[in-house]
Chains A and B, each alone.
Chain A
Amino acid sequence: MQLNRRDFIKLAGYGASLGLVATGLPGCVTATKPKMGRVVIVGGGYAGATAAKYLRMWSLGAIEVVVVEANQQFVSCPLSNLVLGGSKSIDDLTFGYDVLKANHGIQWVHDEVTAIDTTAKKVSMRRGELHYDRLIIAPGVDFIYDELPMLQSPEAQQQIPHAWKAGWQTVNLRKQLEAMPDGGVFVMSVPKAPYRCPPGPYERAAQVAYYFKNHKPKSKIVVLDANAEITSKKGLFTKVFNEMYAGLIDYRPNSTVVDVDVATKTVKTEFESVSADVLNIIPPQRAGKPAQMAGLNNIDKRWCEVDFLTYESKLAANVHVIGDAISAALPKSAHMATNQAKICANAVVQLMAGLPLDAAPVFANTCYSYVTNQSAMHVAHVYRYDEVKKVMVPADGGGVSLNPSEQEGSNASAWAQNIWADTLT
């Protein structure tokens, strides 16, 4: 197959100077009006912010990018369990968007999306509306309170924070742990998979154990897991719970929370009643609200079905969904969200230029969990597109650490610094 001259000129036209693609100069923003159309991105988390940056970089400024985000700041969920362990503060994980916007010429609307019309190609917000040529929805997760309606109010969450979106709830949970007397009981629940950050709850248990071991050694942790077993890094976490934190963590599988008494912090499962001094319920989750507004959460009424070459929704043309909100046999992690954002951005640039897509995308994913202030362990895989199954599948060679180590803690810290810089500068 060959490109004809007209196609080549089209390619050169959007590339402006193809040499720039190779050198990939960050911050090269064209002064001219974008030629290829407008992409609106709903959500400025790991997925949305990354998609915005790479669309601008790879189109060399030929695509106009508008991000709509309700929060003024980016607060990283990765590493937020270290706030509970006491070795990080929430300010270590909090960033602004100004550098990203300025470096890449991204337009930014600080507003909340109220409606999405995929037929009229229109996004409505509290203070206006935007039309798009293509839409990328990166909404993160929304909590499901159908089974636990008593936890929905801000007042209840003041008592029993989820702390599963980093921010003030993380700070609140840390303060409750600090205020708890030695000998107290911390109870946390894990929802049935899939949920955001598969190893996150177990990392949380380890971080709280790290804090208790050093400051409140008579205290206990009860983990009520709705799943039949630890859902990620199982062998490693089992070892950490039984050896590093022996006697501190009481892990109970097949324990779905069915009722909560907010005032007394008492949790009921199908089998038992457990009282807590500090209680952390991580609710079940589904695709974030903007995806629901567009009616894209077709899988179990929770997650969005997409094409893994483009991340275009199976339900709406010209609308892409990336990050935790999609239905996939892929972990809902920050690195994964940025990978999907890049495959999506790459495809959107090609589609808007009328050029062929990458027929079989490949990406690498590394996920660290900290088990002390300094030691971490990984799970790492390369994922390759399977042209028969039409999904991403793990390639040979992936796996987990033999043991947690300080070397990997240092790698995890470098991971955080680099993914923050990649997403936010």
Chain B
Amino acid sequence: MIIYADTAKTKSPNTPSQVTTEPIARHVHTRSLAASCAACHGTNGNSSGNAAKLAGMDSTYFVAQMQAFKSGERASTVMHRHVKGLNPQEISDLAEYFSAQVPSKQTALPSQKLSRSAHN
């Protein structure tokens, strides 16, 4: 858990019972921002289909790709738009967030036949 590892490193030895709220606030901000990526990249970055699997991605690689989308060095259809709406802190926090996720296979979709009794 990156946030608390950071906290452990930075807290003063004289105030062992206190932690700064700043990393916690960043984590709370990052987890819902990261979750908005799930529509294309899957829950916690575990994508199925042709969008990149972000779960477990190396954070340096993640940041480099985001910069390449931003500069146009790496071609994209929508990522160049999204990256321009994020600040550098968010990009680096997203990189850490996704690198800490465990890659897993997506559960199969619970497909069904439309029932006769369904509304609409």
Contact = CB atoms under 8 A, between A and B. Distances in A.
Contacts of A97: 110
A180 interface: no
Contact of B1 (A21, A168, A399): A21
A283 to B, nearest CB: 13
B118 A167 contact: yes
Contact of B112 (A95, A355, A396): A95
Contacts of A342: 32, 35-36
Nearest to B85: A382
B110 A96 contact: yes
A395 B115 CA distance: 42
B119 A71 contact: yes
Interface string A23-47: 1111000000000000000000000
A99 B50 contact: no
Interface string A277-320: 00000000000000000000000000000000000000000000
Given A54-B35, A366-B39, A397-B80, A414 B50 contact: yes
Given A73-B114, A168-B120, A395 B1 contact: no
Given A92-B111, A339-B36, A418-B48, 10 more contacts: A23-B100, A71-B118, A358-B32, A382-B85, A397-B85, A407-B77, A411-B51, A414-B40, A418-B47, A419-B39
18 contacts: A19-B1, A22-B2, A71-B118, A72-B115, A94-B114, A168-B114, A171-B114, A342-B35, A362-B85, A362-B86, A366-B39, A382-B81, A382-B86, A398-B81, A411-B51, A414-B49, A418-B42, A421-B106
Interface of B: 1-4, 17-21, 24-25, 27-29, 31-33, 35-44, 47-51, 77-78, 80-86, 90, 97, 100-102, 104, 106-115, 117-120
Interface of A: 1-5, 8, 11, 18-19, 21-26, 54, 58, 70-73, 75, 90-92, 94-100, 103, 165-171, 335, 338-339, 342-343, 345-346, 350, 355-366, 378, 380-384, 394-399, 401, 405, 407-408, 410-411, 413-415, 417-422, 424-425
